[in-house]
Amino acid sequence: MSISDRIHVVDHPLVQHHLARLRDVSTTPVEFRAIVRRLAMLLAGPATAGLATKDLTVTTPLKQTVGRQLSQRIGLVPILRAGLGLVDPLLDLIPTAEVWHLGIYRDEATAEPVEYYQKLPKSNPVDVAIVLDPMLATGGSAVAAIEVLRRWSVPHIKVISLISAPEGLALVTKHDPEVEIFVGSIDECLNDRKFIVPGLGDAGDRQFNTICQ
């Protein structure tokens, strides 16, 4: 499978509808969080389409039938802090998922990722890890997260981001061609401050109402 086959743009009318409102500078933090939740659920559908299942017997009010249930351990890996907004909607869909937080921030002077928190065990990895970060900009934080998960020996890694920059996608796919990436939009580029253009600003600040006035 080629590298391009690993990048999935979820070009759904509902995704585009909610992204337009998410980008708007007038959108309040309350509405912003709600839209992040909706978009996370919309992107989760295609991102989880390949998960393995197994048969089980279900007794309906009329008869027994065969159903299917997930058969893999799923780990949700939000990158703090902006990734927190994508956790609850994914847990609504996969209540048995494990949540493993990663603290990674971007050094404003160097634009390089700095890891400050992770509590992943040294053994017994999940079968599938889904990295959650609303914005895939430089790709540095995603690469750092992927490296942590590879050291944990996770065999299958996916990334869900609401928007991305071509530069970030190129870095992630070059670093680890096996990772699948699911995004709502690939934007134009990064500006000189390494922000996605047109983007939506700082997703963490807009979610948690910490924009400096």
Span 14-24, pLDDT tens digits? 999 999 999 99
Average pLDDT over the chain, rounded to an integer: 93
Active-site residue 60, yes or no? no
Q: Examine residue 141 and state whether it is found in any structural domain, yes or no.
A: yes
Q: Examine residue 213 and state whether it is found in any structural domain, yes or no.
A: no
What's the CATH number where 54 sits? 3.40.50.2020
pLDDT for 1 beyond 90: no
Q: Examine residue 7 and state whether it is found in any structural domain, yes or no.
A: yes
Q: Examine residue 185 and state whether it is found in any structural domain, yes or no.
A: yes
Domain with 168, as residue range(s), is 3-208
Q: Examine residue 17 and state whether it is found in any structural domain, yes or no.
A: yes
Average pLDDT over residues 32-46: 97
The pLDDT assigned to 112 comes to 77
Residue 212 banded pLDDT, cuts 50, 70, 90: low
Residue pLDDT, tens place only, 90-132 = 999 999 999 999 998 877 777 678 888 988 998 999 999 999 9
Give me the number of domains the chain comprises: 1
CB-based burial of residue 73 (10 Å sphere; 0-12 exposed, 13-18 middle, 19+ buried)?
A: middle
Give the whole-angstrom CA distance, residue 209 versus residue 151. 35
Q: Examine residue 85 and state whether it is found in any structural domain, yes or no.
A: yes
Residue pLDDT, tens place only, 126-163 = 999 999 999 999 999 999 999 999 999 999 999 999 99
Q: Examine residue 150 and state whether it is found in any structural domain, yes or no.
A: yes
Percent of the chain at pLDDT > 70 equals 97
Give the whole-angstrom CA distance, residue 162 versus residue 133. 8
The catalytically annotated residue of 106, 127, 150, 176 is 106
Contact (CB, 8 A) for 174 and 198: no
Higher-pLDDT residue of 156 and 4 is: 156
Tell me the pTM. Answer: 0.93
Contact (CB, 8 A) for 133 and 105: no
The pLDDT assigned to 104 comes to 86
Active-site residue 205, yes or no? yes
Where b means 16+ CB within 10 Å and e means fewer, 184-207 reads: bbbbeebeeebbbeebbbbbbebb
Per-residue H/E/C for the chain: CCHHHHEEECCCHHHHHHHHHHHCCCCCHHHHHHHHHHHHHHHHHHHCCCCCEEEEEEECCCCEEEEEEECCCEEEEEEECHHHHHHHHHHHHCCCCEECCEEEEECCCCCCEEEEEECCCCCCCCCEEEEECCEECCCHHHHHHHHHHHHCCCCEEEEEEEEECHHHHHHHHHHCCCCEEEEEEECCEECCCCCEECCCCCHHHHHHCCCCC
Q: Examine residue 57 and state whether it is found in any structural domain, yes or no.
A: yes
The pLDDT assigned to 2 comes to 44
Higher-pLDDT residue of 203 and 211 is: 203
pLDDT for 213 beyond 60: no
The catalytically annotated residue of 53, 96, 110, 210 is 110
Amino acid at 144: A
Q: Which residue has the tokens 């796919």?
A: 173
Active-site residue 110, yes or no? yes
Active-site residue 106, yes or no? yes
Q: Which residue has the tokens 């603290």?
A: 103
